[in-house]
Amino acid sequence: MSPNSKGVEILSIGTELLLGNIINTNAQWISEQLSQLGLHHFRQSTVGDNFDRIIKVIQEISKRSNLLITTGGLGPTPDDLTTEAIAKSFNVSLFERPHLWDEIKQKLPNSKLKDDSSSLRKQCFFPKNAQIINNPRGTAPGMIWEPIKGFTILTFPGVPSEMKTMWEETAYDFIKTKFSDSYSFFSNTLKFAGIGESSVAEKINDLLNLKNPTVAPYANLGEVKLRITARAKNDLEARNIIMPVKEKLKKKFSKFIFGEDHETLPSVLIKELTKRKETIVFAESCTGGLLSSSITSISGSSQVFQGSIVSYSNKLKNSLLNISEEKLTKYGAVSEEVCEAMAINVREKLGADWAIAISGIAGPNGGSEDKPVGLVYISISGPNNHITNIKKIFNSTRNRLEIQTLSVNVCLNSLRLILLSNSK
């Protein structure tokens, strides 16, 4: 698409999006795909399942854009209005594609067809000269249609897995051939832990003004990302443009960068422990199993993760982790002394190389002047009597889940740094 072109828009259709019942992940995913293709994507719109409003917004978009990508509203129910509304926007009739009905019948059991055949059949009607986008994972096909010269519409279902498959199998090549120029965008994301977005931005002010590649910071809870994006004729050329900036960042933030792109703290930790042939266990209190869940969400975690003890009450800290009643009474469950004993004892009890224990006050209740909401103790026990104790006081304005999530991040990142400093 030339620099003077009008660009691309995304239209998400569905009342459930406006009500906040679901998160619009489709628009985010399509945006990333368009960026990789080097296209000028400048606007996103969302409209409910209302025939007249869909028509109005499509007509408006057709006057200012070259390419419209829609998601949602292609199903068999009465509120699936997208194809009909698009046709009405340009006063065009819909015609049945008999072969699509044959394909739908092959995909669904006979009982479903008997109950719902009339509504399912509406998915077979398209403008006469529309190209069909096959849907291998569902019954609702999409279309590629140019209703007026210089304006093309691509339609996709709202189900993310269906939309992504259709994009990859059909739409990507079509868009690249017809709309993308000889240049494309390639991005590489560096991920940081243990440092805030403002601190990162202050140290890279010169890089934030670069034109090619561009460097953009993003912050998630407990994590900062720097996305480096290059515009080039191919991925290899883009990687070469990115490399000097990437190396500069790695040198400047060597301790804070834990991974790239799709890597996470749990995946990086699992990879390192697997390489070292070491195992890990947890003793959790305030996180209630969230630390264990973060590890087991990663395929391959069974290579290193032995198990955990979630001892929320003092009674179970005593019976399962052998924390004496005297210690619990003297120091309290939320204390360095108890947390350290939890780490040492769970490592011994479950027989692992490493153990992480965590105890704290996640709130919103339960805090005191001496031990406020947001106070968390973490202890890491390892080979050769290794002990690392960490005290964190998270801002009490954080909600309970945020404090728990941040605590998990600190646990994982702290062990990552310990392993980094004791590389085998």
The predicted pLDDT at position 113 comes to 58
Beta bridge partners of 18: none
Count of other CB atoms within 10 angstroms of residue 93: 9
Same topology for domains 8-178 and 184-260, yes or no?
A: no
The predicted pLDDT at position 118 comes to 63
CB 24 within 8 A of CB 163: no
Q: Average model confidence (pLDDT) for the chain? A: 93
- Measuring CA to CA, which residue among 215, 198, 190, 175 is closest to residue 36? 175
The predicted pLDDT at position 115 comes to 47
pLDDT tens-digit readout, 70-98 = 999 999 999 999 999 999 999 999 999 99
C-alpha separations of 60 from 9, 53, 145 in Å: 11, 11, 17
Q: Domain boundaries in the chain? A: 8-178, 184-260, 265-421
CB 186 within 8 A of CB 261: no
CATH number listed for the domain at residues 184-260? 3.30.70.2860
Q: What is the value of pTM for the model shown? A: 0.78
**Burial 106-129, CB ≥16 within 10 A → b, else e:** eeeeeeeeeeeeeebbbbbbbbee
The predicted pLDDT at position 2 comes to 47
SS3 of 330, please? Answer: helix
pLDDT tens-digit readout, 310-321 = 999 999 999 999
Q: Which residues of the chain have pLDDT under 50?
A: 1-4, 115-116
- Measuring CA to CA, which residue among 276, 247, 280 is closest to residue 357? 280
The predicted pLDDT at position 317 comes to 97
pLDDT tens-digit readout, 165-179 = 999 999 999 998 898
CATH class for the region spanning 265-421: alpha beta
The contacts of residue 16 (CB under 8 Å, 6+ apart) are 22
Q: Pick one of 3.40.1000.10, 3.40.190.290, 3.40.50.1820, 3.40.980.10 as the CATH number of 8-178.
A: 3.40.980.10
**Burial 67-84, CB ≥16 within 10 A → b, else e:** bbbbbbbbbbeeebbbbb
Query: CA 122: distance to chain centroid?
Result: 34
